[in-house]
Amino acid sequence: MNRFRLTSLIPLVTMAALAGVTYWLLQATLPPPNEGTPHQKSHTPDYFADSFSVSELDQSGATQYRLTATHLVHYEDDENSDLTNPAIRAFQPGKPIVTATGERGTVNADASIVNMYDNARILRAAGNGDPAMQADSEHFRVLVNDDVIETEKPVKLQRGLSVMTASGMNYNNVTRVMQLFGNVRGAIAASDSAGGSLRQPG
């Protein structure tokens, strides 16, 4: 009778042992708590760079744009970057070099929009019958893909002997058309009227 009871308990003990081993294996292979949940990105720096430089090439392999900065801080959530002493230069065959600079700036993830802040300046070298041009403002936005520079801040423009001020500006480097907005003041020298266009939207 006792032998029968002992024999009948062996399968139960074996099943319990197998269940225990199975549970242990399952727990051992499960990821730690919260490991499977997506990582929530925050607006914190994930990498830095000094003496940063990146160039965009045209189809022939020539440099079309070059963005430089003395320091770059990249953020993981929006993939934007803060720049210290940024400069962006546009190199186009047959056209004067255009350079935008600032004491600080930002660039988006695909480098299609570059913002220049604090003593921001646009310099266009003389060429193709146009005198040198300089524009100064608190902020310039460079739309790289459109080859356009704009600002919604007060701007001072010097083009050859002409000096003008305005409440905002849009410069298209493809058409070489400069548009001034808002309260526009100044004078255009007769010697600067040739080559390029200066407009005040009406």
Give the pLDDT mean for 14-39: 57
Task: State the Cα torsion 10-15-19-20 to the nearest 10°.
Answer: 0
* Residue 156 counted as domain residue: yes
- Residues of the chain with pLDDT > 90: what percent? 49
Contact 179, 200 (CB under 8 A): yes
User: How far is it between the farthest Cα atoms of the chain?
Assistant: 123
What are phi and psi for residue 14, nearest 5 degrees?
-65, -45
- Residues of the chain with pLDDT > 70: what percent? 74
142-170, pLDDT tens digit by residue? 999 999 999 999 999 998 889 999 999 99
Mean pLDDT of the chain: 82
Domain that residue 11 falls in = 1-31
**pLDDT(4) > 60:** no
Residues 57 and 1 in one domain: no
Q: What is the pLDDT of residue 170?
A: 97
* Residue 37 counted as domain residue: no
* Residue 17 counted as domain residue: yes
* Residue 81 counted as domain residue: yes
Give the pLDDT mean for 64-77: 93
Whole-Å CA distances, 184 to 90, 122, 164 = 27, 18, 7
* Residue 36 counted as domain residue: no
Residues 49 and 27 in one domain: no
At residue 183 the predicted structure's pLDDT band, cuts being 50, 70 and 90, is very high
Domains contained in the chain, number: 2
Residues 76 and 142 in one domain: yes
Q: What is the pLDDT of residue 39?
A: 60
Residues 95 and 189 in one domain: yes
Give strand pairing partners of 198.
178
The C-alpha atoms of residue 69 and residue 50 are separated, in whole angstroms, by 8
Residues 25 and 103 in one domain: no
At residue 32 the predicted structure's pLDDT band, cuts being 50, 70 and 90, is low
Residues 155 and 74 in one domain: yes
Q: What is the pLDDT of residue 102?
A: 98
Please identify which residue in the block is written with the tokens 């600079």.
101
